[in-house]
Amino acid sequence: MKKLAIFASGTGSNAQKIIDHFQHHDHIEVSLIVSNKPKAGVLEIAQKEDIPFIVLSRESFYKTHQLVKQLQTRQIDFIILAGFLWLVPDYLIRSFPNKIINIHPALLPNYGGKGMYGMHVHEAVKKNKETISGITIHYVNENYDEGQIIKQVTCEINPNDSALDIRNKVLVLEHDHYPRVIEELITSHSF
């Protein structure tokens, strides 16, 4: 079994889709949820789904390597970021080379970087009168949203779409593609 840890800071709708996708999978399972927010919706999902979880403190995440030990103890193979808002520290990237994946709700390299998360992204896309947006699934490196791109999928934006409409269109793409791209990637890794 290849074991996934999902890192999320918010509601966890992507986490839920990933959990559902791998529920009865023969070689991939979601083994751990990690959040930096004790009240994040994703932790309710973890409890409901009976998946172990860890709540990070900023101190332990940035000043210790305790998390690496916890991930190794649980034999985690891949880290899946799904709305995780803290910058991933170098030590964690070095411990999981090319094994940390993120989804960004826009077409990188546009609308990425620090502060570009959640509705900020879609409001900026709207403000610039873009005619397309979409998702970017990419490897994580030491800078926000700059790792190698694995896959992008686009959607059209109509002039009368609000930022919320754009978010909703993009979220449909996220839910549809992220679990499948993770599956393809891990399957091609497991020779």
Only segment of 13-21, 43-51, 61-69, 87-95 that touches ligand GRF (CB under 6 A): 13-21
Residue type, 155: C
In the complex, least distance from residue 178 CB atom to ligand GRF, rounded to whole angstroms: 8
Query: Which residue, 2 or 167, has its beta carbon nearer to ligand GRF?
Result: 167
How far is Cα 80 from Cα 6, in angstroms, rounded to an integer? Answer: 5
Rule CB under 6 A: choose which of 14, 31, 95, 133 binds ligand GRF: 14
The beta-strand segments (E) located in the chain are 2-7, 28-35, 53-55, 78-81, 100-104, 132-139, 149-156
Only segment of 25-33, 45-53, 98-106, 141-149 that touches ligand GRF (CB under 6 A): 98-106
- Which residues belong to the active site? 104
- Binding positions for ligand GRF, rule: CB under 6 A: 8, 10-15, 82-83, 103-105, 174
